[in-house]
Structure 1
């Protein structure tokens, strides 16, 4: 729909649809503040606001405007690389299409997916502030899930794609009571500020998002194979496969002697298949310890497995550290081979 069509749209002729409470909240969040000399995609969003004002009070939906923004077409494509392939993300993720502008920075959430363990969100940012090559989110304003006791692991990447535009990708692992993941999660995000260290710039703003995600169906393959070291045991408990991700669940137990010498011990993973595809190349996971590091339960996520592969080769390497950059050693454990079910 063109800008002129948005403006000329007869609201009285709209077909009004009943929506849920979460959808009502999403409608309210799509209000964009118009700025002078705004790019054309912002004008489209402002036109959409006219419809929001007419429909919010009665709780009815309006057409999505995110599809009108060319560089938002496939944010995930900017993050595909040799190690991490976000296969099927666009197909199986949920279109979120939320946008807000504050203090000259427009943030739009593109797509998101919940695989039962991790939540991955793709987003984009447009601004005329001079952030330069690197933009970061100020901590601790992270993605969160309603009802979770906290979250662990994950990370965020923001990549510059033009003078005024950035694309981002964030993943986090919400932790729920008794480690039972719900069928639906309600995700919230209130980024307080974005900053650039190279340009000595921080821009605060008032952005706040909320949306709901249903859990992807997945297949769990139990493994329960343990590899031993004189100072620890590592058990690969299971591997869960979905259309967009593969999640490793593990438990490790380390000795008091090792923790006395190295107070932090956590694994990174090297994961390949029998065809030579590389999924993780020394990447860590997320997890929690109930006893100050002696027992550690965690997950590590990788992309969907390539077609034709019949085995996963998973090698954990323990990083025993003094923390704060004071030194570390690497403890290489034997690889675990998982025969993939056909």
Structure 2
């Protein structure tokens, strides 16, 4: 992928012409948001654009609490993750295996509570609640995403729901990206300074001085090696492995693209559709990825639900999206499905 994402920082959203896009492109855009800056020259693949708005600044005062004492008396929502449960059951095991953070801070009339968080070894999911005296509207966003110590970049997604005129429920999913020769540890140190909350519709922004720090231990899981390939006319998708935990399943895969294809198509990315042999369709959330050779070889991971215990096979169908970028046109290449035998010994057992 050859796009220079620094170009987006000066983008005026009013200059964007609306264009018609496919449902596949819409899904890909929903899956990614622009993350933290990389400390090295690495082509890190992010998939969303965040627009800024007019700033309204007030007097800032900050107070902090920790559960279960003073914070438990603040009228916040309980079980924040329940507001994001749906028919996909993507967060079905979240409450059972997440860590209670229970940190509350108030600044400029806005209280933020970090409820729970979980680290599956690849991505970190954080649920939080907001209480404010000022209505932030139905379409709000946060200025800054969480960061992870020792990560050189970040990809992720964020959702903020209005529950009442003064209360909001939020969830952030982030995937830290480390140096090419290093991997994530069993414990991660997370920091988050939200900085501001913006009403996208009105442009109103409320700034504050919130700052959270906490650590998370990895939920133990099992890794199964796959190394199966789907290939067609200069495009190759290799499903390398998947990691199974009690909260999610992470698919690791590589995308390789012939340089001649990249001469024509500005962006090349892949979406995976996953079903099993007992009829389960899995909800997929992309974690982003990296490339060190201008998109000829890219490393990705996707997170999906916990695998159905009755399943004996996963059927993964890659769709490669070839795009000219900026709404100028695209093509979709559906690749040959890859079947994974779930009864094969996993890496942990072999060791």
TM-score range, shorter-chain basis?
Answer: 0.7 to 0.9
Deviations 1:16-59 (A, max 9, x none): xxxxxxxxxxxxxxxx969xxxxxxxxxxx8x96xx8xxxxxxx
Counterpart in the other structure of 2:204 = 201
Aligned 8 A contact 2:68 2:102 in 1: no
Deviation of the 1:70 alpha carbon: 6.6
Aligned 8 A contact 1:75 1:122 in 2: yes
Counterpart in the other structure of 2:264 = 261
Task: For 2:341 and 2:71, locate their aligned partners in 1 and report how far apart those are by CA, in whole Å.
Answer: 42
Which of the pair has the greater relative contact order for Cα pairs under 8 Å at 6+ separation? 2
In the alignment, does 2:187 pair up with 1:184? yes
> More displaced, 218-227 or 308-317?
308-317
* Alignment length (residue pairs): 284
RMSD: 2.2
In the alignment, does 2:126 pair up with 1:124? no
Task: For 1:205 and 1:311, locate their aligned partners in 2 and report how far apart those are by CA, in whole Å.
Answer: 49
Deviation of the 1:226 alpha carbon: 0.5
Counterpart in the other structure of 2:149 = 146
Counterpart in the other structure of 1:230 = 233
Using structure 1 for the length normalisation, give the TM-score: 0.78
Once the two structures are superposed, the pairs formed by residues 211-230 of structure 1 within 5 Å of their partners are 211-230=214-233
Task: For 1:278 and 1:73, locate their aligned partners in 2 and report how far apart those are by CA, in whole Å.
Answer: 30
Work out which of the residue numbers 244, 247, 251 in structure 2 matches 1:244: 247
**The structure with more helix, counted as a fraction of residues:** 1
Counterpart in the other structure of 2:169 = 167
Deviations 1:119-138 (A, max 9, x none): 11111111121222121112
Once the two structures are superposed, the pairs formed by residues 31-110 of structure 1 within 5 Å of their partners are 63-68=68-73, 72-110=77-115
Work out which of the residue numbers 303, 306, 311 in structure 2 matches 1:304: 306
SS in 2 for 1:287: strand
Task: For 1:120 and 1:341, locate their aligned partners in 2 and report how far apart those are by CA, in whole Å.
Answer: 29
In the alignment, does 2:176 pair up with 1:210? no
Deviation of the 1:180 alpha carbon: 1.2
Using structure 2 for the length normalisation, give the TM-score: 0.76
Deviation of the 1:197 alpha carbon: 1.8
Task: For 1:84 and 1:290, locate their aligned partners in 2 and report how far apart those are by CA, in whole Å.
Answer: 35
Gapped runs of 5+ residues in structure 1? 1-31, 35-45, 53-61
Counterpart in the other structure of 1:288 = 290
Deviations 1:287-311 (A, max 9, x none): 0000111100010001212332222
Aligned 8 A contact 1:289 1:295 in 2: yes
SS in 1 for 2:95: helix
124 and 253 in structure 1: CA distance in 2 versus 1, 3 angstrom threshold: same
Aligned 8 A contact 1:192 1:207 in 2: yes
Aligned 8 A contact 1:33 1:100 in 2: no
